[in-house]
Amino acid sequence: MTHLHQIRVYWEDTDAGGIVYHSNYLNFAERARTEMVRTLGLRQSDLAAEGYAFAVRHMTMDFLKSAKLDDLLQVESTPKALGGASLEVGQVIRRLDDGAELVRLDVKLAFIRLDGKPARIPAELKNSLQALVSERR
């Protein structure tokens, strides 16, 4: 299953030349992953209230083209693998008007307690996440 999330580029996202500042792609990807998990009925605030969170453990990014002010972007998030305490997600950020692929990300998330220690993903959440991973096969 690939989750799709649209984002408009605003002034706050760009440098003085109207080009998206590189670190803002991280924000776009984070929002899209949050919305992907929300499709399972899980809000990040609920997870935090239970004392847990997903934290980025490792990430690679390829910057292919630039987004500009007013572009409408789509972030495609595809769960790739699920471990006992981890989730791997592939993401592509593309511009919608021409379909240009702008950024590719491979993200490994660790499931942690809020004190920073690793934790096993609870069975109910793991089953929901596994359904997302299995759908792509």
Look up residue 122 and give its two tokens: 């609870």
Query: Where are the domains positioned within the chain?
Result: 3-135
Note whether 91 and 65 are within 8 A (CB). no
**Per-residue tens of pLDDT for the chain, all 137 residues:** 899 999 999 999 999 999 999 999 999 999 999 999 999 888 889 999 999 999 999 999 999 999 999 999 999 999 999 999 999 999 999 999 999 999 999 999 999 999 999 999 999 889 888 888 876 55
Q: Which residues contact 9 (CB under 8 A, 6 or more apart)?
A: 20, 67, 68, 69, 70, 71, 72, 73
Q: Which residue numbers are catalytic?
A: 15
**Superfamily for the 3-135 domain:** Hotdog Thioesterase (3.10.129.10)
pLDDT for the residue numbered 41 = 86
pLDDT for the residue numbered 133 = 85
